[in-house]
C-alpha cells in the first residue's frame, strides 16, 4: 500500500463522526464505562496474581486522561477537584498494579468508578 493511500485511510478513520460527538454526556458515559471495565479486568488479574493485559492498561490510562481533561474547574470547582483526585487515585492504583509493587488499593478505585459511572448514567436518564 502506498504511503499516501495509507495516510488517506488513517485520516478518514481518525476523523470523529458527528454522531460520536453530538452528546457530550454520552461521550463521558462511554469513557467512564470503558475505564471501569478496564479497571475491573486489571483487578481480576491482580486477584489471580498476574498483570492485566496491556490493552486494558492503555485503555484505562487513556480514559483517565480524557476524563481529567474534560473537567470544568470554573463552573464545578468542588466536584471537578474531587473527580480529578478520584481519577488520579485510580491512575496511581493502576500503575502500582502494573508495576507489581503491591500496597495499592485497586479494589477501592474500581468501586468508586462503578459508583461514579452509575451516577452518571442516572443523571443522563433524568436529562432525557
Q: What tens digit of pLDDT does each residue of 61-92 get?
A: 999 999 999 999 998 889 999 999 999 999 99
Q: 68 is written with which cell numbers?
A: 481529567
What is 24-127's CATH superfamily? Flagellar protein FliS (1.20.120.340)
What is this structure's pTM? 0.79
Q: Where are the domains of the chain?
A: 24-127
- Are the CB atoms for 68 and 84 separated by under 8 Å? yes
- Ordered per-residue pLDDT tens for the chain, 128 residues: 455 655 555 455 455 554 455 788 899 999 999 999 999 999 999 999 888 899 999 999 999 999 999 999 998 889 999 999 999 999 999 999 888 877 789 999 999 999 999 999 998 888 76
Collapsing DSSP states into helix, strand and coil, what is residue 117?
helix
The C-alpha cell of 75 is what?
463552573
Task: For the chain, state the CA radius of gyration.
Answer: 17
Amino acid at each position: 500500500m502506498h504511503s499516501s493511500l495509507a495516510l488517506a485511510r488513517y485520516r478518514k478513520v481518525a476523523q470523529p463522526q458527528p454522531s460520536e460527538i453530538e452528546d457530550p454526556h454520552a461521550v463521558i458515559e462511554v469513557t467512564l464505562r470503558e475505564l471501569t471495565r478496564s479497571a475491573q479486568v486489571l483487578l481480576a488479574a491482580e486477584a489471580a496474581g498476574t498483570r492485566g493485559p496491556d490493552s486494558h492498561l492503555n485503555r484505562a490510562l487513556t480514559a483517565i486522561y480524557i476524563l481529567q481533561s474534560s473537567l470544568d474547574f470554573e463552573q464545578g470547582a468542588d466536584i471537578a477537584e474531587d473527580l480529578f483526585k478520584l481519577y488520579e487515585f485510580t491512575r496511581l492504583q493502576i500503575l502500582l498494579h502494573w508495576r507489581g509493587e503491591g500496597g495499592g488499593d485497586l479494589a477501592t478505585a474500581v468501586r468508586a468508578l462503578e459508583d461514579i459511572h452509575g451516577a452518571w448514567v442516572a443523571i443522563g436518564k433524568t436529562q432525557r
